[in-house]
Structure 1
Amino acid sequence: MVQRLKAYRFPLILLSSIIIGIFIGLLFGEKADVIRPLGDLFLNLLFMVVVPLVFFSISSAIANMDSMKRLGKIMGTMLTVFIITGILASIIMLVAVVLFPPAQGANIPLEDPETVEKLSLADQLVATFTVSDFVDILSRKNMLALIVFAILTGVATGLSGERGQAFAKFLNSASEVFMKLIQLIMYYAPIGLGAYFASLIGTIGPQILGDYARAFLIYFPVSVLYFFIGFTLYAFLAGGKQGVIRFWKHILSPAATALATGSSVGTLPINLEAARRIGIPKDIRETILPIGAQIHMDGSCLSAILKIAFVFGVFNMDFTGFDTFLTAIGIALLSGTVMSGIPGGGFMGELMIITMYGLPPAALPIISAIGVVVDAPATMVNATGDTVASMLVTRHLEGKDWITNQENL
């Protein structure tokens, strides 16, 4: 029993700091925002290291693969898992909003949004996957471009054969160094997360109690149930009972970080460490988690369905029918797995909701506000969903005994 408590010691410390932060936020209200810099410091430390970590982890994982055929299997299985889990998340929220309409009792004044610049999808896609100058790739604002560059670097290193071995060793060494740096940063996590939660509750608490209370009260339990029940099921499918134990033993730190910071990218360093402790092979975790932080958003699929149902209720539109539901699931899937990785993708997803259903422009600020209210639990589901997805990919590639095999390495 004592050994088990020791294994969960750090997650329990994190949870305790979060609870203390929540009480501080409730007690002092907006005054609690004075300690927000302590939380910002933690978040900045994570963002500071995320760009080199993503580059070295992906490129080293690919460079050290036995063959490019394995990379293809990882990517193909990854996309399949992302799409299936996104559809399941959308269906679950769809059932919830049909049973409990989120806009009931809401009284929101409709205002026309500010004039927005028309976005060219082609230009957005070019800007998403490439940059015009190398220095621009050294920014978390261009993460998908960085991922593409890291993949190509890893492939080129692998194809260089013997002459590329020295560079492959450098990439692998750098990846290990940055993972160690994350462990050092995590010593500060209890203070940073506690301060962030105190500020969060102190500043947005009144907003949650306003017109969007019902939407939040629907989203929060659904996301929590999906987090506990859905991810437990995924972990069981991936590794049986041992998979469930491993997942819950190591996922609390990334979950707490995502909940506090509202950033999947910011959570990525801690997520990679958790995946390593779970036993997910290096090439799988260091390929899937960085990509998943950009294009795998089960929490965003949940919130997209909620946004659609909410705005339907505000405009007294009938949210029923197979075609309506199918369109809603399709939009949610695009928002959670495709547009989430495009710069301004959240905004484009909201514009798509308005366009697909022929809603007036006044619906835009309403939908945007929903995103703000549910951002924290959505990010928690987004980030931790990448970890369990990598477990499912490992199960498919390595077989049902992958956890046992990892222990014997």
Structure 2
Amino acid sequence: MERTSVKRNYVFLAIMLGAMVAGAAVGWFFPVVKDADGTVLEAGATIFKPLGTVFINLMFCIVVPMVFASISSAVANMKSRRRAGKIMGVTVATFVVTGAIAAVIMFVLMRLFPPVLTPWTEFQTGEMGDYASLSELIVNFFTAEDFVGLLSRQAMLPLIVFSLLFGFAVNLTGGGETLVGKFLDNLAEVMLKFVQLVTYYAPIAFFGFFADLVATYGSQIVENYVRALAVYYPLCFLYIFTAWPLFAWFGGGKGAVKTMFAHIAKPAIVSLGTCSSVATIPTNMEAAADTGISKDVTDMVLPLGATMHMDGSCFSCVLKIAFVFGVFGQPFTFSQLVPVVLVAVLSSVGMSGVPGGGYIGEYIICSIFFADHMEIAFPILVTIGNLVDPPATMINSAGDYVASFLVSRFVDGKNWLQRAGRQL
């Protein structure tokens, strides 16, 4: 990547960071004012929220056709079906292994620094509502009731399954030489250009995001959660500068760490600002293309990662479990390591890549560990989830780009980066 290109990217990132800081400052000085009944008296900086909503809505409108086109095109144009299967297998294995590593790290930290030292004496109950059975949840993870149901960001995993099968069907009927194969390839390129156009609006959007966020929640950080956040937030940034370089080095060899850090900032900032793995897919694809990662690897790893690669969610899942164990005064010991790690990985895989994605993970945790106290545990878990959502999404989303290094090693060989000639 040329130095001028790197400089241009970081200038744009600096503009976005400046917009975020400016938005946070405005939100701090103009917070929401409510009366004793919770009625809003002054909206404060939340009036800027539509600026961010426009951006994320545009991204969500782009993502559905982009995911369909990129995955279908990648599979349809595969010269070797064996390669397609290999990429899929390595991708899923990579996501599970990195998620388990993240869960074990957080488990050890929770043993060393328990988030709740004294059991709570008063609990806040909440509405649990009606929830599907476990079998229904599994069905809904992978399928939609009809084709129209696929055309929604809330059905990302069913859309990915459909796109994979559609791509294999095209591959079996002629692949990239067919009109459908060429159309899918061209559509993927068009959607990437579309993303570039929308990205120019990003600084204004980030100003709106952070003005609303700080104005709404800045003064509501409850003291009981501070200890948990004091562990979680530093861990996320420590993970970025320890685990990610190790993954990049193992996946790309010489020069990979420097190359990874040269491209990771933009996906990290976008994910931190939007709190959405799905909205970060286009930016991840740009970074992967600039790095020289094979297009078929990129087109499969990154969309799948938006719903299946959740290292940050594995962190938060273990934190939530340890937190509620402390609330109820229950011991949190190493004898629980295996079930906690399994739940963390399984509940994270299949989560939606959208903000506040339905609280499926919280429900799974409650149903397994706190089935007799779900009405108490559920609102506690949701609160923690909301507080750690930005850094968790950053680890999830930007980590998809890092995971593509690992997949590339096993699919294209350990010297793939050197052959691509993109290392800095």
Q: What is aligned with 1:190?
A: 203
Match for residue 401 of structure 2 among 378, 387, 392: 387
Aligned length: 407
Q: What is aligned with 2:150?
A: 137
Pairwise mapping of residues 336-347 of structure 1 onto structure 2 (< 5 A)?
336-338=348-350, 347=359
Offset, 1:162: 7.0
User: Which residue identity is paired with 1:29?
Assistant: P
Q: What is aligned with 1:36?
A: 49
Q: State the alpha-carbon separation in 2 of the partners of residues 317 and 170 from structure 1.
A: 57
Matched, 1:351 2:363: yes
The alignment-based identity, stated in percent, is 45
Q: Which shows bigger deviation, 260-269 or 241-250?
A: 241-250
Matched, 1:288 2:265: no
* Moved segments of 4+, more than 4 Å: 1-4, 105-108, 338-346
Matched, 1:367 2:369: no
Q: Does structure 2 conserve the Cα–Cα contact (< 8 Å) formed by 1:106 and 1:211? A: no
Secondary structure of 2:359's counterpart equals: helix
Offset, 1:342: 12
- 1:111/1:7 CA distance change after superposition, 3 Å: closer
Q: State the alpha-carbon separation in 1 of the partners of residues 130 and 352 from structure 2.
A: 19
Q: State the alpha-carbon separation in 2 of the partners of residues 217 and 149 from structure 1.
A: 41
TM-score (norm 1): 0.93
Matched, 1:407 2:409: no
Offset, 1:147: 1.0
Superimposed CA distance per residue, residues 367-408 of structure 1 (whole angstroms, 9 cap, x where no aligned partner): 111111111111111101111111110011111221222238
Match for residue 223 of structure 1 among 236, 239, 246: 236
Secondary structure of 1:170's counterpart equals: helix
Match for residue 18 of structure 2 among 6, 12, 16: 16
Q: State the alpha-carbon separation in 1 of the partners of residues 263 and 353 from structure 2.
A: 26
Offset, 1:112: 3.2
Secondary structure of 2:420's counterpart equals: helix
Q: Does structure 2 conserve the Cα–Cα contact (< 8 Å) formed by 1:28 and 1:202? A: yes
Pairwise mapping of residues 207-356 of structure 1 onto structure 2 (< 5 A)?
207-320=220-333, 322-338=334-350, 347-356=359-368
Pairwise mapping of residues 87-106 of structure 1 onto structure 2 (< 5 A)?
87-104=100-117
Q: Which shows bigger deviation, 94-103 or 13-22?
A: 13-22
Q: State the alpha-carbon separation in 2 of the partners of residues 108 and 261 from structure 1.
A: 36
Superimposed CA distance per residue, residues 244-292 of structure 1 (whole angstroms, 9 cap, x where no aligned partner): 2222222212111111111111211222122211221111111111111
Q: Which runs of 5+ in 2 are unaligned?
A: 33-43
Matched, 1:180 2:193: yes
User: Which residue identity is paired with 1:177?
Assistant: V
Q: Does structure 2 conserve the Cα–Cα contact (< 8 Å) formed by 1:107 and 1:211? A: no
- 1:163/1:71 CA distance change after superposition, 3 Å: closer
User: Which residue identity is paired with 1:83?
Assistant: V
User: Which residue identity is paired with 2:344?
Assistant: A
Matched, 1:61 2:80: no
Q: Does structure 1 conserve the Cα–Cα contact (< 8 Å) formed by 2:52 and 2:209? A: yes
User: Which residue identity is paired with 1:255?
Assistant: A
- 1:377/1:100 CA distance change after superposition, 3 Å: same
Q: State the alpha-carbon separation in 2 of the partners of residues 327 and 78 from structure 1.
A: 23
- 1:397/1:9 CA distance change after superposition, 3 Å: same
Tell me which protein shows more helix as a share of its residues: 1
Q: Does structure 2 conserve the Cα–Cα contact (< 8 Å) formed by 1:108 and 1:211? A: no
Q: Which runs of 5+ in 1 are unaligned?
A: none
Superimposed CA distance per residue, residues 40-83 of structure 1 (whole angstroms, 9 cap, x where no aligned partner): 11111101111000110111111111111001100111111111
Offset, 1:121: 2.2
